[in-house]
Structure 1
C-alpha cells in the first residue's frame, strides 16, 4: 500500500526541490512505528533525525533545535537497536530507494512527536563514532537540507 493512502496517527511531508518524501507515525502497543519513503534526495547517504521543535524558521531550519531526546541526557548514536547510547530521535541514514525505511521507537507515544520535525541532513550520520567535534552531538551529518513538521494525520 502506498504511504500516501496508508492510515497513520501523524504525518510529515517533504516537498522541496531537494528532498521529497513522506513519513508516517503509527501508534502500536509498544511505541511508535515510523514508516518513511523518499522519492527524491541528492545521491548518497543522509542523516535522518527527529528534532525537538517544528519551528522551521531560520536558515537550514535552525529553529528545529537539537535532536529530540526523551529521558536522561545522552550522546548521539545510531538508529534504534544499533547503539546503546543514543538520542530518541537518532534514526540513522536514508537514501533514495524504491523501498521504505521503518523504525520502531519503544515506549513513546505519537502525541509526543506532534509539533516536532523530521530533518534530512546533507551528509551521512556516523552514529556518534567519528572523531569530529560534532560526532557525539549530531553524528557529523552536516547541514539540514530538508525539514518537515510532524502533524496530526487525517483519519480515514
Structure 2
C-alpha cells in the first residue's frame, strides 16, 4: 500500500509542478504584433502542361469587393480558352489535374461569370489572337483575394461552353499556375 500511495503522491507532485510551465510557455507580448493585413495583390506564373507551350504572367488585384485579373498569355491556339480558378495549387501532375476542379466553395453548378449562379472560380473564356496571345483583363465579381491565395489558375486548351456540368467541357489543361501573394506597391 505504501508503495502505491508514494507513487500517486510523486506523480501528483510532478504534474502539479508542470502546470505553471505549460501555462506560461510563451512570454512574448502578442499585443504588440497585430494581425497582418490581408493581401491586396497576387501573382500567377503559368507553366505549360505536357503537350503545350503556353507561358504567361497574371496579376490579381483587390478592387473593392472584386478581384481584377490582368496579364498576358502566349503560345495558345487562336480562339477562346476556358479560364478558371481551381481548388489546389498543386502542379505535380504533368496534365495539371492535381490542381483539382473549379474553386466552388458554395457547391453550385458551373456557369458563366455573369450568371446568377456559378462557381467562384468560373472566369469564363479568354481570347487568343491569330498569334496565340491573349490579353487578359477580367473582373471576378464578389471574389475575395485571400480565399484564392495558394490555389491555381488553369488555362484550358478549348472553349468553356459556360453550361456543361461540372466544368464547361473546356478540354485539357494547357497551362497552370499557383496564385501567390505579390508585393503591394
- TM-score, length basis structure 2: 0.68
- Structure 1 residue aligned with 2:167: 138
Q: 5 Å matches for 1:54-69?
A: 54-69=89-104
Higher helix share: 2
- Structure 2 residue aligned with 1:78: 112
Counterpart secondary structure, 1:112:
helix
In the aligned structure 2, how far is the partner of 1:22 from the partner of 1:37?
Answer: 6
- Structure 2 counterpart of 1:116, from 151, 159, 166: 151
CA RMSD in angstroms, aligned pairs only: 1.9
CA positional deviation for 1:45: 1.6
In the aligned structure 1, how far is the partner of 2:90 from the partner of 2:175?
Answer: 13
Deviations 1:105-124 (A, max 9, x none): 23332111111000011111
Unaligned residue ranges in structure 1 (runs of 5+): 1-7, 129-134
Counterpart secondary structure, 2:96:
helix
Q: 5 Å matches for 1:1-156?
A: 9-16=41-48, 18-71=53-106, 73-79=107-113, 81=114, 83-97=115-129, 100-128=135-163, 135-156=164-185
Q: Which runs of 4+ in 1 moved over 6 A?
A: none
Unaligned residue ranges in structure 2 (runs of 5+): 1-39
Q: Which has the larger Rg?
A: 2
The count of aligned residue pairs is 140
Deviations 1:117-139 (A, max 9, x none): 000111110001xxxxxx21110
